[in-house]
């Protein structure tokens, strides 16, 4: 009877424990779902861009072009006036103020958009074509449905007059949504419709590359030495403890180190992926050393003995057998370490990678943004256009992290040799 009761209790305890587990997992999934939902609902609209159609004649007289093949003439032609004059004709206006309101519906880059088009299609001189010009941020947000129209005019960013123009354009089929290639190809900008995270992606890639190039070889050498060659004594114990401590140091400290030493003492160029990568590699080092040592330790002693008994030297044993077998674990640790570095913001803020950079970086020596810092920068901006871009950047960042972590899992599963 007593036995029966105890068994029943045990089953109940088991059931209860399972229930707790399910509740915990559901809660975790719920929060992740909430985050993803929020990011996606805010961010997806950033991947499209609103364009306004405009029929333009590339009038040689107006542009001041006499010879299409004269590069100088074509480069310096007055596209600004051409588009300006053509665009304000799209809607009747009665005063200077209304004229301004019309042209403000276009993104200030229209001059270059027209020029770029013409440079590629020089045969269109004196012909009329339909151009797609990027709409201003306010127009874009209105079209995407992110601006409510039913609030008082003085609290709206678009006037009643501009709303009327929008409706008219819509009716005439002049408004079009296209894929926002600017998001990927451009750097930062004051105008949300012209801003992209291309520069931030490049900056992040350069930073991670520098970080990998510095931290991986050093970490691997350190791990191999500590695990395979170092004598076991007080000093190596101390080193071991400090490596673990280093892994727990808040990342901002590495930023300070970068600021104090790399920038002030070595005078490396500020705001560059080079400095960012070096600062992050300090942080990544212990995060690679620890899994690398664990993988080295996991290589069975029988393999080492086998090699030694064949007359392999210690170094040959380590580099022919132990290190290759520890590689999958080391690589997956490296990828996870780099993924953490990719999401790191604080050290980059300190070494000046928060600068407003319009140009795409061409090398790790150029000033640049990075993905997490771009999120930080844009989240500070008031424009609605930057809100969606912030979320889009987070999506990008999460995408990279998912890819890297999957790679880590893949590396471990695919290349891990099984031994008996």
CA angle (199, 204, 210) in 5-degree steps: 125
**Contact status: 420 vs other proteins (CB under 8 A):** yes
The strand order across the sheet containing 48-57 reads 128-134, 48-57, 175-179
**Contact status: 11 vs other proteins (CB under 8 A):** no
**Contact status: 419 vs other proteins (CB under 8 A):** yes
Give me the half-sphere count of Cα atoms (radius 13 Å) on the Cβ side of residue 286: 16
Sign of CA dihedral 186, 190, 194, 196: positive
Q: Are strands 175-179 and 48-57 parallel, antiparallel or unpaired?
A: antiparallel
The DSSP code for 106 is B
**Contact status: 209 vs other proteins (CB under 8 A):** no
Cβ(55)–Cβ(128) below 8 Å: yes
Q: State how far the Cα of 234 lies from the Cα of 303, in Å rounded to an integer.
A: 28
Give, to the nearest 10 degrees, the angle between helix 198-224 and helix 323-342. 140
Q: Residue 1 has which token pair?
A: 């009877």
Contact segment (CB under 8 A) with other proteins among 34-42, 127-135, 162-170, 318-326 equals 318-326
| Residue reference for tokens 């001059």 | 111
- Indicate which single residue of 160, 316, 406, 413 sits in contact with other proteins (rule: CB under 8 A): 316
x/- map, 147-176, other proteins, by CB under 8 A? ------------------------------
**Contact status: 412 vs other proteins (CB under 8 A):** no
Cβ(343)–Cβ(393) below 8 Å: no
Nearest approach, Cβ of residue 298 and other proteins (Å)? 13
Cβ(46)–Cβ(392) below 8 Å: yes
Residues 292-311 contacting other proteins, CB under 8 A: 300, 302-311
**Contact status: 100 vs other proteins (CB under 8 A):** no
**Contact status: 417 vs other proteins (CB under 8 A):** yes
Q: Which is nearer to other proteins, 122 or 417 (by Cβ)?
A: 417
- Indicate which single residue of 146, 321, 360, 401 sits in contact with other proteins (rule: CB under 8 A): 321
Nearest approach, Cβ of residue 316 and other proteins (Å)? 6
**Contact status: 315 vs other proteins (CB under 8 A):** no
| Residue reference for tokens 């890297």 | 404
SS3 (DSSP) at 57: strand
Q: Which is nearer to other proteins, 210 or 411 (by Cβ)?
A: 411
**Contact status: 233 vs other proteins (CB under 8 A):** no
**Contact status: 235 vs other proteins (CB under 8 A):** no
**Contact status: 313 vs other proteins (CB under 8 A):** yes
Q: Residue 236 has which token pair?
A: 């190596």
**Contact status: 377 vs other proteins (CB under 8 A):** no
Number of residues forming the site for other proteins (CB under 8 A): 22
Nearest approach, Cβ of residue 224 and other proteins (Å)? 17
**Contact status: 234 vs other proteins (CB under 8 A):** no
**How far apart, in Å, are the Cα atoms of 1 and each of 4, 5, 15, 238?**
5, 6, 21, 58
Q: Which is nearer to other proteins, 12 or 313 (by Cβ)?
A: 313
Q: Which is nearer to other proteins, 152 or 311 (by Cβ)?
A: 311
Q: Can you give the binding site for other proteins, defined by CB under 8 A?
A: 232, 300, 302-313, 316, 320-321, 325, 417-420
């Amino acid at each position: 009877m007593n036995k029966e009761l105890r068994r029943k209790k045990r089953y109940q305890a088991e059931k209860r424990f399972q229930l707790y587990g399910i509740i915990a997992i559901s809660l975790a999934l719920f929060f992740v779902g909430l985050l993803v939902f929020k990011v996606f609902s805010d961010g997806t609209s950033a991947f499209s861009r609103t364009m306004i159609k405009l029929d333009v004649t590339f009038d040689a007289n107006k542009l001041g072009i006499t010879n299409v093949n004269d590069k100088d003439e074509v480069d310096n032609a007055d596209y600004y006036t051409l588009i300006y004059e053509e665009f304000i004709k799209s809607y009747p206006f009665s005063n200077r103020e209304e004229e301004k309101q019309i042209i403000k519906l276009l993104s200030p880059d229209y001059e270059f958009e027209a020029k770029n088009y013409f440079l590629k299609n020089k045969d269109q001189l004196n012909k009329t074509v339909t151009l797609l010009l990027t709409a201003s941020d306010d127009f874009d947000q209105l079209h995407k449905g992110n601006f409510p129209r039913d609030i008082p005019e003085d609290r709206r960013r678009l006037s009643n007059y501009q709303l009327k123009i929008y409706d008219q354009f819509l009716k005439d089929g002049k408004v079009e949504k296209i894929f926002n290639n600017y998001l990927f190809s451009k750097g930062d900008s004051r105008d949300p419709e012209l801003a992209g995270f291309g520069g931030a992606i490049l900056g992040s890639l350069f930073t991670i590359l520098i970080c990998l190039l510095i931290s991986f070889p050093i970490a691997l050498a350190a791990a191999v030495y500590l695990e395979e060659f170092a004598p076991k004594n007080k000093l190596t114990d101390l080193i071991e403890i400090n490596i673990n401590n280093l892994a727990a140091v808040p990342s901002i400290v590495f930023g300070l180190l970068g600021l104090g030493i790399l920038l002030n003492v070595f005078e490396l160029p500020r705001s560059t992926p080079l400095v960012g990568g070096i600062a992050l590699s300090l942080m990544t080092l212990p995060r690679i050393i620890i899994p690398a040592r664990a993988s080295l330790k996991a290589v069975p002693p029988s393999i080492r003995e086998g090699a030694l008994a064949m007359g392999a030297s210690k170094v040959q044993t380590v580099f022919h057998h132990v290190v290759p077998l520890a590689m999958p674990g080391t690589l997956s640790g490296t990828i996870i370490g780099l993924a953490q570095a990719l999401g790191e913001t604080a050290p980059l803020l300190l070494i000046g990678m928060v600068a407003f950079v319009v140009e795409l970086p061409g090398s790790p020596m150029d000033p640049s943004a990075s993905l997490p810092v771009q999120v930080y920068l844009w989240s500070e901006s008031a424009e609605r256009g930057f809100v969606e871009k912030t979320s889009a950047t987070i999506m990008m960042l999460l995408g990279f992290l998912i890819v890297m972590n999957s790679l880590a899992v893949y590396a471990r599963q695919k290349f891990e040799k099984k031994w008996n």
